[in-house]
């Protein structure tokens, strides 16, 4: 499995290295994004401290992890759609590797690119905009991130199933991303939302992910401090991971029956 993941990562790196302009523009985009958040926080002023932390780190963690986690859903649709458009999907799913494994590995390889962007964003913020993080409980952060990735990965698998079934998996990404932007506390604290929406917000997995990230990275929170969030995310993962894999399996079998695997 690791050998296949390595092959996919190598393929993606080789392809990315041959689109040098796009790579440079992407870096510039990350820099612009972090700078934008910094100046927004400065314009709002130091008096605004959502959940007791400075606004710039609040914003940066919110928007960077939000983009990364939404990217975790998006990569499934993107990789399948690209493979359909380039005519490689049927060939990839005709190799001696299981269909679901191929799809998961393709998405995983692409998701590593999103994590790379996230790391660049934090490096830029630390080096150029004096961001100070207090990750005294790295294990707690890693656990929160890992469970979050499992949940968004499962949503991504569902989006992949929709992409293969209808050719329009991007609708799932759009729904997930726009709902997330509104209710997950990405740009402002959830407490600013009206009461009923706050209740909805508590049912949305990214809200728990972002809360857990902020607690572990900014407030020196331990596993004990985020156990409620980890619990919620684990329940989502336990329900979504097996059901999404089952659904994707059914959709793939149906697409093989209909001959619509490569249709988009």
Partner 1 sequence: MTRGNWGIAAQEVVSVRSVSKAFPLRGGPASWFCKSKPILALHDITLHVFRGEVVGLMGPNGSGKSTLLKLIAAALLPDAGRVAVLGSDTGTQPMDVRRTVGLAIAQERSFFPRLDAYENLAFFASLDNVPRDRRHNEVERVLEQCGLADLRHRLVHQFSSGMYQRLAVARALLKRPAVLLLDEPSRSADLQATRSLWRLVQTLAGEGTTVLLATHSLEEAANLAARVIFLRQGRIVSQTIRPEVSILRAAYAQFSQDEALVEELNCEACLP
Return the number of the residue (20 or 132) whose C-beta is nearest partner 1. Answer: 20
Cβ neighbours of 253 (radius 10 Å): 11
Contacting residues for 182 by C-beta, under 8 A, at least 6 apart: 197
Tell me the closest approach of the beta carbon of residue 85 to partner 1, in angstroms: 8
Q: From the CB of 74, what's the least distance to partner 1, in Å?
A: 20
CA distance 199 to 194: 9
| 20 is an interface residue for partner 1 by CB under 8 A | no
| Closest CB 244 distance from partner 1, rounded Å | 18
* Smallest distance from partner 1 to CB 99, Å: 9
Q: Does 253 engage in binding with partner 1 (CB under 8 A)? A: yes
For partner 1, what does the binding mask look like between residues 84 and 123, x meaning CB under 8 A? Answer: --xxx-xxxxxxxxx---x---------------------
Rounded Cα distance between 224 and 239, Å, is: 23
Nearer to partner 1, 11 or 202 (CB): 11
Q: What does residue 144 show for φ and ψ, rounded to 5 degrees?
A: -60, -40
> Which residue, 110 or 207, has its beta carbon nearer to partner 1?
110
Q: Is 75 in the site for partner 1 (CB under 8 A)?
A: no
C-alpha closest to that of 181 among 169, 170, 193: 193
Phi-psi region of 220 (alpha: psi -120 to 50; beta: other; left: phi over 0): left
For the window 155-194, what string marks contact with partner 1 as x by the rule CB under 8 A? ----------xxx---------------------------
Q: How far is the CB of 107 from partner 1 (least distance, A)?
A: 15
Given a contact cutoff of 8 angstroms between Cβ atoms, the answer to whether 215 and 137 are in contact is no
18 binds partner 1 (CB under 8 A): yes
Burial track 43-56 (b if 16+ CB lie within 10 A, e otherwise): eeeeeeebeebbbb
Write down the least CB distance from residue 93 to partner 1, Å. 8
Cβ neighbour number for residue 241 with a 10 Å cutoff: 15
Q: Shortest gap between Cβ of 149 and partner 1 (angstroms)?
A: 23
**Cβ proximity to partner 1, 96 vs 127, nearer residue:** 96
Instruction: State the Cα torsion 40-45-48-52 to the nearest 10°.
Output: 90
10 binds partner 1 (CB under 8 A): yes
* Complex with partner 1: residue 195 or 257, whichever CB lies closer: 257
Diameter of the chain by CA atoms? 61
Give per-residue burial for 103-138: e unless 16+ CB within 10 Å, then b.
bbbbbbbbbbbbeebbebbbebbeeebebebeeebe
Residues that bind partner 1 (CB under 8 A): 3-4, 6-8, 10-11, 14-15, 18-19, 86-88, 90-98, 102, 165-167, 253, 256-261, 263
């Amino acid at each position: 499995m690791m050998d296949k993941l390595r092959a996919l990562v190598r393929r993606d790196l080789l392809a990315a290295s041959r689109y040098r302009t796009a790579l440079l523009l992407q870096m510039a985009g990350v820099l612009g994004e972090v700078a934008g958040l910094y100046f927004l926080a400065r314009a709002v002023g130091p008096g605004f401290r959502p959940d007791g932390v400075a606004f710039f780190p609040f914003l940066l963690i919110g928007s960077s992890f939000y983009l990364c986690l939404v990217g975790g859903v998006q990569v499934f649709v993107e990789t399948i759609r690209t493979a359909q458009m380039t005519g490689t999907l049927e060939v990839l799913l005709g190799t001696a590797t299981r269909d679901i494994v191929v799809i998961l590995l393709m998405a995983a390889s692409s998701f590593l690119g999103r994590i790379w962007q996230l790391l660049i964003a934090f490096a830029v913020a630390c080096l150029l905009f004096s961001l100070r993080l207090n990750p005294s409980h790295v294990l707690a952060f890693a656990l929160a991130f890992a469970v979050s990735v499992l949940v968004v990965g499962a949503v991504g698998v569902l989006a992949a199933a929709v992409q293969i079934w209808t050719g329009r998996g991007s609708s799932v990404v759009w729904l997930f991303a726009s709902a997330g932007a509104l209710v997950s506390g990405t740009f402002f604290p959830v407490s600013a939302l009206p009461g009923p929406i706050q209740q909805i917000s508590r049912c949305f997995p990214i809200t728990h992910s972002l809360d857990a990230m902020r607690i572990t990275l900014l407030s020196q929170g331990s596993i004990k401090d985020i156990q409620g969030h980890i619990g919620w995310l684990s329940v989502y993962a336990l329900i979504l991971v097996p059901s999404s894999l089952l659904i994707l399996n059914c959709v793939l079998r149906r697409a093989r029956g209909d001959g619509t695997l490569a249709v988009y």
